Structure 1
Amino acid sequence: MRPPLPEGIAAADFSRALDELAGVVGKTWVFVDELPLSTYRDAYSPLADGTLLPSAAVAPESVEQVQRILAIANSFRLPIWTIGTGRNFAYGGPAPRKSGYLVLDLKRMNRIIEVNEKYGYALVEPGVSYMQLYRHLQRIGSKLWIDPAAPAWGGVMGNALEHGAGYTPYGDHFIMQCGMEVVLADGQVVRTGQGGISNSKHWQISKHGLGPQFDGMFTQSNFGVVTKLGIWLMPEPPGYKPFMITFPREEDLEQIFEITRPLKVNQVIPNAAVAVDLLWEASAKTTRRHYYDGKGPLPPSIRTKIAADLNLGMWNYYGALYGPPPMIENNWKLIEEAFSNIPGAKFHFARENDPAWDYRVKLMRGEPNMTEFSIMNWIGGGGHVNFSPISAPDGAEALAQYNLIKKRCHEFGFDYIGEFLVGWRDMHHILMIMYNRADETMRKSAHDLFSLLVDEAAAAGFGEYRTHLAFMDQIAGTYRHNDGALWDLHHRLKDALDPNGILSPGKQGIWPKSARP
């Protein structure tokens, strides 16, 4: 199948643009054939095959090449879609927002520029993965921990720019970001914060320079191309105590988070506390067909059998303690006493031959791995998309949100598979809608379920913090306070910084003037 042309660009002009791009990066690093371009599709998408396909891709290796590529894109009004490692799966992966975009693939820009042991930070380029940074730290004998997202192949920079989260006390990746280098649409290179000083000694030490702080403006946006990012790393603690608590009833969720809230706000539990539902936990160890070959959500009797067979709860709660052993044990007494008030709570500190326990323990000590990706085998067929509303760590709110979403999942024929992750005063509710992409009816149902959940969550006062490409405009439309004033501001910034609208048009519902509805 011939790749689509960018909208509004003639074939002859596009051919000339590709020749100019090859003159910048070399012909080897301009991808135009079907086979290499197939890697820039969303293999797990809720959309039909053949949607969101790039026209071509270009892979620079330096900031200077990025500047020259942007000059060519401006000259031809060529829309580009920027990716780092391209592993943002469940949210679109490496695919562009619309068919015909040129993918600006920054995978070759994968240098770990600095690791500072004294102050605890790293400075990285867009193509650096969690596993690459982890192995580098191991190789140099560093005593610093990274905070990885669940799949090790994800990008350190990309996850921070997408407001991603991890599982150590450094789990809010944007908060732990310090200092960016950004190439604007016109090619100007800007360094934020203390990086604005020539030869700055403290670029990755303090987020604040003189004047406004701009780092957040380049997260989940299309206002520039981020080419360097500082990330704070956690010093290895003198002690580490991971734990898991299983709870036997779905309704225990309310009490779980009423207990969790003061423990988190007061940092008794310093890392991301996660309540994982039965099926998310079970899917790392078994498959649905092993227990049930019928259609629709699993019957309660099957859920009960899975819990008994695998020694799991309806909710399975993970956390960890860090620091000097006496401090750990004092804090553990508070946690144990609090959660013992929930009837049937069971405490676990080791679980033999349990891949779910093993990978959580690794994540909470900063060790990236790929185990969580195995949960795709629960259904088979690979399809998955994440619905991710934000809520407060409030028990009644969590239970109400769970009951609403579970009900809709069951109505559309899906199992509820999700987790609640408390950062500090916020809670991420991650619903993973899994489906077989080869089953067109199932795939479409997943899409329709997601769309309905967006509207119902907004009506209840919940917004999503992150989303798949297919739903960016819909979710942007739910942020409608004062007649959509926030997106009006986004668009004013877009018009000022990228007047030709070349940078990732439509990302998070931010469109150039020529493409706005």
Structure 2
Amino acid sequence: MSQALNKPPTTDELYRGYPKRLAEEAKYSKDRLLSHKTLPDSVPRQRGVRLPPDTSRETFDEAIAALQQELGKDNVVVNDKPLIDGWYLEHPNTHDAFHLVDQEDLVASAVAYPGSTRETQAIVRWANKYGIPLWPISMGRNLGYGGSAPRVPGSVVVDLGMRMNKILSIDAENASCVVEPGVSYFQLYEEIQKRKLPLWIDCPDLGGGSVLGNAIDRGVGYTPMGDHFANHCGMEIVLPTGELLRTGMGALPGKDGKDNPTWQSFQAAYGPYVDGIFSQSNFGIVTQMGMWLMRETGHQSYMFTFPRDEDFPAIVEAMRPLAQNRILGNIPQLRHIVQELNVTGLPKSHWYDKSGPIPRDVIREHSKQLPIGECSWVFYGTQYGDEASINTQLQLIKATFSSIAGTRFYLPKDLPDDHYIHSRAKVCSGVPVLRELDWLNWKPNAAHLFFSPITPTKGVDAQVVHDLNVKLHEKYNFDLFPTLCVAGREMHYITNIIFDRSSNDEKKRANALMRELIASAAAEGYGEYRTHLLYADQVAGTYNWGNGALLKFNETIKDALDPNGIMAPGRNGIWPKKYRGKGWEILGDENEKAVGGGTIAPKSKL
């Protein structure tokens, strides 16, 4: 049965599901997206089980049997079934749903489902015994960055979300919680509502991801607590040897065997602050984490529109003092008007039926028909506090943006109920949603890839990165969808590259575009804050001050903590000694060559 005919699961039925309040939206979103699909749900696999490097089938079978004995047979599953890309809430944990190379390339040999920290430790010790690489995931929903795919094909994916999905505590007075990796933003929000607590969560654009996983990958949200890793407090970590570590105040034992009462109150504790080395790294498996929550407050979302493409640097210059003086209440977004077309959920063919990027004059003509009218840039913001303070803040913001001729201001009440501003208003008040999936209807079999450099909040810097994007998207024949997440001194310039994963040509062009974007931005002094696993080596290599001092430092830590090299080799460009310099790094056009029958493989044996 095609997945398009299946009702997606609720959180009551499956921890990965959606809350009942979004039942109609989830069904509509799934059915509409899959209605554009021309690919079958799955095709016969060309290979058998993808074995771990330098592991015979006999050794693999022996190892799997031993792990099943430890965890239970149902909790260790060999990856010999059809590969199905699925849908956002029914995504695979065996490969990348948005595969940029062949679907069978970056695949797991098996998936293990620990139910506790103790079982996670058992998996790690097992991996050391058999020399099998692990690839831990929380829920695998970092779509656009590689999803669940292991960087080393044949690794065993450790899916922490399936059975480790408990909210361990919510402290209303302290405005904090402790969660396991499988707790989604949907799940945490619904529990807070069920308990009628005056607390907010901070969520990213989509609510189905892992609270813990997003934080340790340094993801962002849109309330004043939008820097997720900055608002974590205390972690429990299984190290690559199987030993257990607690960071922050958790390193101090509590009374009568309980957790220390200050574990979620103070981040650093005593001595070096080590938490950072476990973000965007492969130095351990985080099995629980404390997160700070926001006190419920008044709020008002709004938007500004700006008429001309060339207003871009002036808009950035206007935003900077507002952000640095903390007048902007949250982490706002500045988006190009083309984003207003694709968040309608209508396909590109509705707006433009020719090949090639949609021309600027066509975008402008269509924008005239939108509720906000003809414009080039759209700013979404939210202010917080009581009514008087919000009104004062808005007057200051209006006065600043009014220096740009033709600027218009809107509140949610000024726009139709189906306008995107209402989704932004929910996200910016801590309510997780699904609306952001709509832009995937832009192409059939749509997948996406993020290019995410950091720029200073200065017009001249932002213009350099924007111009690079415009030039290279035109060169490789892709539509440009830029979104800037704005802070006082920096902006995340996030480019969403949407491609048809059934097209080898589009995959090759997307790979080439991404490689050139990374190299060109780095040559101007701008680096990515996060990237797809296929470009981790290239991005890590751009941070090469001092003859690559940072990467060497990371490798020194890696070798000390993971002498057998079993923990997520290659994640974020950090390779253990066992793999390093043996052909696993992707630094050229290997991705393009792997599309259509090639393979991402080492150039020499381990």
Q: TM-score range by the shorter chain?
A: over 0.9
| Residue 236 of structure 1: aligned partner | 296
Displacement, 1:33? 4.1
| Residue 480 of structure 1: aligned partner | 544
* 1:161-176 paired onto structure 2 within 5 Å: 161-176=216-231
The one-letter code matched in structure 1 to 2:329 is P
Task: Give the 3 Å change call, closer, same or farther, for CA 33–193 of structure 1 in structure 2.
Answer: closer
1:91 aligned onto 2:145: yes
Cα distance in structure 2, aligned partners of 1:87 and 1:355: 26
| Residue 110 of structure 1: aligned partner | 165
Task: Give the 3 Å change call, closer, same or farther, for CA 19–36 of structure 1 in structure 2.
Answer: farther
* 1:319-334 paired onto structure 2 within 5 Å: 319-334=381-396
Displacement, 1:188? 1.3
Deviation per residue, 1:360-383 (Å, 9 max, x gap) = 111100100111011111122212
Cα distance in structure 2, aligned partners of 1:106 and 1:49: 23
The one-letter code matched in structure 2 to 1:155 is S
Displacement, 1:300? 2.3
CA RMSD of aligned residues (A): 1.1
Task: Give the 3 Å change call, closer, same or farther, for CA 405–487 of structure 1 in structure 2.
Answer: same
Displacement, 1:177? 0.8
Question: Which is worse superposed, 285-294 or 481-490?
Answer: 285-294
Cα distance in structure 1, aligned partners of 2:366 and 2:164: 45
Cα distance in structure 2, aligned partners of 1:164 and 1:359: 19
Aligned pair partner of 2:407 in 345, 354, 368: 345
Aligned pair partner of 1:248 in 294, 307, 310: 307
| Residue 35 of structure 1: aligned partner | 81
The one-letter code matched in structure 1 to 2:287 is T
| Residue 491 of structure 2: aligned partner | 427
Cα distance in structure 1, aligned partners of 2:204 and 2:105: 28
Displacement, 1:301? 2.2
Deviation per residue, 1:33-63 (Å, 9 max, x gap) = 4337652211212223321011111000100
* 1:78-477 paired onto structure 2 within 5 Å: 78-107=132-161, 108-199=163-254, 200-237=260-297, 239-285=298-344, 286-310=346-370, 311-312=372-373, 313-350=375-412, 351-477=415-541
1:56 aligned onto 2:118: no
Displacement, 1:281? 2.4
Displacement, 1:391? 0.7
1:7 aligned onto 2:66: no
Say if 2:145 and 2:450, in contact at 8 Å, map to a contact too.
yes
Say if 1:81 and 1:101, in contact at 8 Å, map to a contact too.
yes
Q: TM-score, normalised on structure 2?
A: 0.84
Say if 1:355 and 1:371, in contact at 8 Å, map to a contact too.
no
Cα distance in structure 2, aligned partners of 1:270 and 1:142: 22
Cα distance in structure 2, aligned partners of 1:217 and 1:364: 29
Q: Name the count of aligned residue pairs.
A: 516
Question: Which is worse superposed, 100-109 or 415-424?
Answer: 415-424
Q: Could you say what secondary structure the match of 2:170 adopts?
A: strand
Cα distance in structure 1, aligned partners of 2:189 and 2:148: 23
Q: Could you say what secondary structure the match of 1:514 adopts?
A: coil
| Residue 65 of structure 2: aligned partner | 19
Q: Could you say what secondary structure the match of 2:499 adopts?
A: strand
Say if 2:95 and 2:103, in contact at 8 Å, map to a contact too.
no
Say if 1:127 and 1:155, in contact at 8 Å, map to a contact too.
yes
Cα distance in structure 2, aligned partners of 1:130 and 1:369: 9
Deviation per residue, 1:424-476 (Å, 9 max, x gap) = 32210000011111121111101100000110011000110100011011111
Deviation per residue, 1:197-229 (Å, 9 max, x gap) = 101110010111110011111001010110011
Cα distance in structure 2, aligned partners of 1:248 and 1:272: 22
Displacement, 1:287? 2.2
The one-letter code matched in structure 2 to 1:339 is F
Q: Could you say what secondary structure the match of 1:35 adopts?
A: coil
Q: Flag as ranges the 4+ runs of structure 1 deviating above 6 A.
A: none
Question: Which is worse superposed, 361-370 or 292-301?
Answer: 292-301
Say if 2:136 and 2:160, in contact at 8 Å, map to a contact too.
yes
Deviation per residue, 1:246-281 (Å, 9 max, x gap) = 111111111111111111111101210210111222
Q: Could you say what secondary structure the match of 1:455 adopts?
A: helix
Aligned pair partner of 1:496 in 560, 572, 585: 560
Say if 1:477 and 1:484, in contact at 8 Å, map to a contact too.
yes
Question: Which is worse superposed, 80-89 or 378-387?
Answer: 378-387
Say if 1:58 and 1:103, in contact at 8 Å, map to a contact too.
yes
Deviation per residue, 1:378-432 (Å, 9 max, x gap) = 1222121000000111112112211121111011111111101113322100000
Unaligned stretches of 5+ residues in structure 2: 1-44, 85-91, 255-259, 582-606
Cα distance in structure 2, aligned partners of 1:13 and 1:316: 57
Displacement, 1:13? 1.2
Question: Which is worse superposed, 296-305 or 409-418?
Answer: 296-305
Q: Could you say what secondary structure the match of 1:515 adopts?
A: coil
Displacement, 1:235? 0.3
Cα distance in structure 1, aligned partners of 2:577 and 2:234: 30
Displacement, 1:354? 3.1
Q: Could you say what secondary structure the match of 1:405 adopts?
A: helix
Say if 2:468 and 2:517, in contact at 8 Å, map to a contact too.
no
The one-letter code matched in structure 2 to 1:362 is K
The one-letter code matched in structure 2 to 1:274 is Q
Cα distance in structure 1, aligned partners of 2:128 and 2:82: 25
Say if 1:159 and 1:173, in contact at 8 Å, map to a contact too.
yes
Task: Give the 3 Å change call, closer, same or farther, for CA 442–504 of structure 1 in structure 2.
Answer: same
Cα distance in structure 2, aligned partners of 1:277 and 1:408: 17
